[in-house]
Chain A
Amino acid sequence: SAAARRPWRLFGAMCLMRLPRITQPLEKEEEEVAALMEQIELEKSLYSDHEMRKLEEEEQLKRKMESLYDEDEARGKTVIMAQDLEEKWEQKFLRFKAAPRITDADKSNDRTSLNRKLDSNLMLLVKQKIGNQELWLLPQVEWQPGETLRSTAERAMAIFLGDHIQAKVLGNAPYGIYKYKFPRAIRTENNVGAKVFFFKAFLQSSDLSQADLKADYLWVTKKELGDYLKSEYLKKVNRFLLD
């Protein structure tokens, strides 16, 4: 019965994720405890060399002001005070401008750009024609005999993003499955429905300007998936996505 045709059609789908580039903002409790830990560390510490120098120089200044005679100190050489050094370092720090955490793509809500939401995972969604409907799905393609399901998923990725995509597929095993039966109009004995197996991959090339994207695509976070995917499909996909 190896030749008996199974009634389910197999599809391999790839969930391509762009991992976060910046750290997530701290929760309120985390910030409070971080401040407390810094305070405790300060209380338990001893003075460092720089602080000792600062204290000694303050003492010297005070004595100079009070006693008004500075025969010991006035030897003609200019001494750099620790306070001046600190101010110099502060100025240098203020002159440096880091890249903003909220990018332009965030502000304009451009969902096709990869530069959005740098602190969370972004998943690729493409618009595909299933039956006679155009749906937003994770890129999927039908399995052909002779290849493993993982290579089906990789082929799906290559079809939509081109061959030059560097992605690390996480293992040979599928992460989830979505089973559905075809509507009664096209259901036959041998063609009851389809099983879509999901694979996960991490995107490693950081810019996709060379990729020729053949269809409408979007990069969305886990929370935004609900705007595009159907509820049953979304339920199955959410099970294998960690936020």
Chain B
Amino acid sequence: RAQPKKKKKVDVKKEQAQKERMKKKLKKLEKAAPELIPIEDFITPLKYSESNRVRSLPPLSPEEAERRVLLLKKWCLFKQKQDEAEKKAIKALVESQQEALKELQLESEELYQAAIRRDEGLFPFEREGPSYTPPLPGYDPPEGKCIDTTKVYTQ
């Protein structure tokens, strides 16, 4: 009758010792810094670093290089003019609104207060942008299934 008692004690002690060892291991793992999730866009797959993948094109002629530089300068000027025109238009818009509000204030204070109140229903404002061609009436798009293959990492 003494033997089963020994077994229990020894088992209990062994189990407790095991649990403590597991807890120590868990603590060590938790203390270590979490592994950083790799950004898949920044890692080029190895198959793209093979040399036979390099495109073979004729080298750039000096006239072509000249033409490109001049075109980029023209583009710079074009974009500057476009930006200035946009800013001018926005300035005119704001001035027009300020003038309207000034006149309204001269007319009636309560209407002015109602006008400068914030419009809560304006945002969030959603709108689909323009496409290259208008939607085709009665178009039936072909059926297909989209299989999502994104890898999900857990820390």
**Contact residues of A with B, CB < 8 Å?**
6, 8, 10, 19-23, 27, 29-30, 32-33, 36, 42-43, 45-47, 52, 98-101, 103, 118-119, 148-150, 168-177, 179, 195, 197-198, 202, 236, 239-240, 242-243
Contact = CB atoms under 8 A, between A and B. Distances in A.
Interface string B55-79: 1010000000000100110110010
A50 to B, nearest CB: 12
B125 interface: yes
Contacts of B111: 10, 148-149
A170 B118 CA distance: 11
B9 interface: no
Interface stretch (B20-28, B33-41, B101-109, B146-154): B101-109
B67 to A, nearest CB: 9
Nearest to B135: A99
A19 B131 contact: no
A172 B125 contact: no
A8 B103 CA distance: 11
Interface in B94-140: 95-97, 99-101, 103-104, 107-108, 111, 114-119, 122, 125, 127, 130-137
A8 B107 contact: yes
A119 B130 contact: yes
Given A174-B101, A240-B93, A23 B114 contact: no
Contact of A173 (B75, B115, B137): B115
Contacts of A168: 122, 125
B21 to A, nearest CB: 50
B92 interface: yes
Contacts of A148: 111, 114-115
Majority-rule SS of B interface residues: helix
Residue of B48, B68, B103, B125 ringed by the most chain A CB atoms within 10 A? B103
Nearest to A115: B134
Contacts of A52: 52-53
Contacts of B115: 148-150, 172-174
Q: How large is the interface on B (under 10, 10 to 19, 20 to 34, 35 or more residues)?
A: 35 or more
Contacts of A243: 89
A19 B100 contact: no
Contacts of B135: 21, 99
B117 A172 contact: yes
Contact of A172 (B54, B72, B114, B133): B114
B55 A47 contact: yes
Nearest to B103: A177
Given A22-B130, A22-B133, A46-B55, A176 B97 contact: yes
B93 to A, nearest CB: 5
A98 B107 contact: no
A176 B108 CA distance: 16
Nearest to B120: A172
B127 A101 contact: no
Nearest to A101: B133
A119 B100 CA distance: 30
A119 B129 CA distance: 11
B116 to A, nearest CB: 6
Residue of B95, B96, B125 ringed by the most chain A CB atoms within 10 A? B96
